[in-house]
Chain A
Amino acid sequence: MNRPHPSPMLQVFQQPERFPELDAVSQDLVLRQSRRTHLLGRLEAILREKGLLDRLKPRVRNHLISARNLVREDRRMLTWEVNRVQRALWNTGLEIILLKGGAYVFLDLPMAQGRPVADLDILMEPKDFPLIEACMAQQGWEQAKLHPYDQRYYREWMHELPPLRHRVRMTELDIHHTIIPKTSRLQPDSHLFFSSAREISGHPGLKTLAPTDMVIHAAVHLFYDGDFDKGLRGLLDLDGLLSHWTLDATFWPQLLPRARVLNLIRPLYYALHFCHRLLGTPIPETILAEANADPQAPGMMARVIMNRLIARIMTPGNPDRLEFTSWLAWSLLYIRSHWLRMPPRMLISHLTQKGLRRWRFDVRNRRIV
């Protein structure tokens, strides 16, 4: 299959040496697209690692340094939040499994350099939730969403508790019990995540998912969660994880069997396929062929459509214009992610509830400016 023409930004992420040679117009575009896709800090880390920052004009470098300072603050925030959550749960003796950004930072993965983090996500066992919620409340975490519908939505249907926000620091904490909504058609056995979680060396009491599960989680998050504003970042996360775990000889042989056991072949297929196709991630041919041939892999129709839509939203366009095809691709993927999230009747009732609330909010807050 021939690859789509890569955008200047993706070219720079793959061949950072080219960035200082670009003319001002192209550099400007790459900076703007990177910022828009939450990847400016990551770009700075890549250029810094290659020793290319000094070859840039001061104006270009300033934007990168500004982004670096922002992601460093994120990292300080994250490390401190983990420390605070550990403190809040100290007496319970519970182990905390860090998900996503938290895991990448505490494992000190190369792809965590320059990656922004907005909040902390952890995975805990649902049987401990009453105790955890009591401890968190005592230490200043409050419900971020008070509306009864939101509370019910999270508690009954989602894969996480309603988000908590710390009263003073205003940081958000998501406590998950699995990686995909309860209402989704794909239902992995969540006990498997807990039983294969690994300790982080040097951080007693903290764990991460096993490498295979971490990749599968990132795939589910990207292809089933509908947060496509951060789509390219999600794909680069997967690229970073796959490139990193390649160093572990046991990783590739375990990946597909694990996804089969978890019943999550489909998102993993998309992850491998698009990393290979759009970013040229080094994935063994045998693994690609095996994923391709798996009976649970998406059908021909789904592949054709997803190829078009994902390629469209992963290629950042002109930041000044909202391009119709991007908008269309984004909307279709958004609808798809909701479709995958919950059965149709529930989806209709959910969207009606949300729509009504937004409308009431707008009416109430109508300001004449």
Chain B
Amino acid sequence: MKIGQQSQQELRRHLGWQGLRWSIGPFIIHLRAKVPNFPQFLHTFYGENLLLSPPWDDIADFHLTLHPPLGLRRFWRPKVHFRLDGNAFFTPFPLDHAPPLFEWGLNMAIASRSNHYLLFHAAVLEKNGNALMLPGTPGAGKSTLCAALMLRGFRLLSDEFGLYCPQQKRFLANPRPIGLKNESIDIIRAFDSQAILSQEFPNTRKGTVCYLQPSAESVHNAHNGATPTWIVFPSFQESQPTYLETLPQATSFLRLAANAFNYETMGATGFECVHAMIQSCSVMQLRFGRLEEALSQLHTLTQSTQPTVHT
């Protein structure tokens, strides 16, 4: 049964009692929540995810709770607390900001417990079985590009994490709502009027945040990974000409290693993975001033299923 096939009433009842479990790619989430508007967010933005019904025969990777505080703070400027295994990691958010709190909390949970994968801070999309990774620094345009590519038919693996599995030598999928910030919200709204966006959450520590629903195809194929093929470092520069350039291997190595959250934790495996990636992928830098120009460059690049292999 999909989350979207349950009524919001039922979702609320389960969330408040023994919790809901569903899988997102390699992870199983167990969430309990007593927050008024949250079932609605779940219904729309995780609607295509399959619920796991009890009795559960596997462990959950993350046991999460979203709860309002006890006592009078329930009424006066009410807040919501996020906990992972009973531990609070964030200062509480206002009660109506439960969705960003959940998304960031889940990011933190994944980042802190997935040291069996090499974790890149990157968006990853797939075309014909090949993965395009867009490693990002804040403001580089990673999420905007990722949203636009998904809306143009690329399959979304992840907007936040490049989950590289050292055994399979592939990226694993972890498709979730794409977090758009500030200016990129209106850019995406103008880019595709059909895009399903959440309400805007103003005044967060990242400014205004809004979520874009992942495409149904991405969620349905979340068990399929993709082979690393193109690695493109985006760099948005207002009204500058767009060009795509190949990066030298040494630069590629350093930039990729610096981009991975847990490069040092992974030890020799981290080194070997990055080495394998620069050997088998085209590593490039994309400077762009306009979204359409960037998309057209990436479209051309990913048309060729045979990537350029460095020698």
Contacts and interface: CB of A to CB of B under 8 A. Distances in A.
Interface in B57-83: 57-61, 63, 65, 83
B96 to A, nearest CB: 12
A293 B208 CA distance: 68
B264 A32 contact: no
B129 interface: no
Contacts of B264: 73
Given A70-B265, A320-B65, A27 B93 contact: no
A80 B26 CA distance: 34
A320 B58 contact: no
**Size category, B interface:** 20 to 34
Contacts of B60: 28
B265 A24 contact: no
Contact of B91 (A27, A66, A369): A369
Interface string B257-273: 00000101111010000
Interface stretch (B3-11, B112-120, B130-138, B174-182): B112-120
A66 B114 contact: yes
B110 to A, nearest CB: 11
Contacts of B32: 320
Contacts of A70: 115, 265
Interface in A65-117: 65-67, 69-70, 72-73, 76
B6 to A, nearest CB: 23
18 contacts: A24-B59, A27-B59, A31-B59, A32-B63, A36-B86, A36-B87, A57-B59, A59-B58, A60-B59, A62-B26, A62-B116, A63-B61, A69-B267, A73-B267, A319-B85, A367-B91, A369-B92, A369-B204
A258 interface: no
A73 B264 CA distance: 7
A136 B94 CA distance: 45
A70 B56 CA distance: 28
A25 B30 CA distance: 13
Given A69-B266, A69-B267, A320 B63 contact: yes
A199 B89 CA distance: 42
Contact of B86 (A24, A27, A62, A322): A322
Interface string B23-59: 0001010001000000000000000000000001111
A321 interface: yes
Interface in A23-66: 24-25, 27-28, 31-32, 35-36, 57, 59-60, 62-63, 65-66
B58 A69 contact: no
A117 to B, nearest CB: 14
Given A66-B115, A369-B92, A369-B205, A59 B61 contact: yes
Which of B60, B92, B204 has the largest count of A CB atoms less than 10 A from its CB? B60
Interface string B124-165: 000000000000000000000000000000000000000000
Contacts of B239: none
B203 interface: yes
B116 A32 contact: no
B265 A73 contact: yes
Contact of A76 (B28, B57, B93, B267): B267
Contacts of A27: 59
A73 B269 CA distance: 12
Main secondary structure of the interface of A (DSSP, over half): helix
Nearest to A29: B59
Nearest to A69: B115
Nearest to B205: A369
Given A25-B56, A35-B85, A60-B59, 12 more contacts: A24-B59, A27-B59, A59-B58, A63-B59, A66-B113, A66-B115, A69-B266, A72-B267, A73-B265, A320-B63, A322-B86, A369-B91
B287 to A, nearest CB: 31
Shortest Cβ-Cβ A-B pairs, 4 listed: A28-B59, A66-B115, A69-B115, A65-B116
B62 to A, nearest CB: 10
Given A59-B58, A319-B86, A369 B203 contact: yes
Contacts of A25: 56
Contacts of B58: 24, 57, 59
Nearest to A320: B86
A60 to B, nearest CB: 6
A25 B86 CA distance: 17
B94 A369 contact: yes
Contacts of B269: 69
Nearest to A317: B86
A291 B41 CA distance: 62
Contacts of A24: 56-59
Contacts of B61: 59, 63
A65 B265 CA distance: 12
Contacts of B86: 36, 318-322
Contacts of A32: 63, 85
Contacts of B56: 24-25
Contacts of A66: 113-116
A23 to B, nearest CB: 8
B28 A59 contact: yes
A63 B113 contact: yes
A28 B28 CA distance: 12
Contacts of A319: 63, 85-86
A358 to B, nearest CB: 15
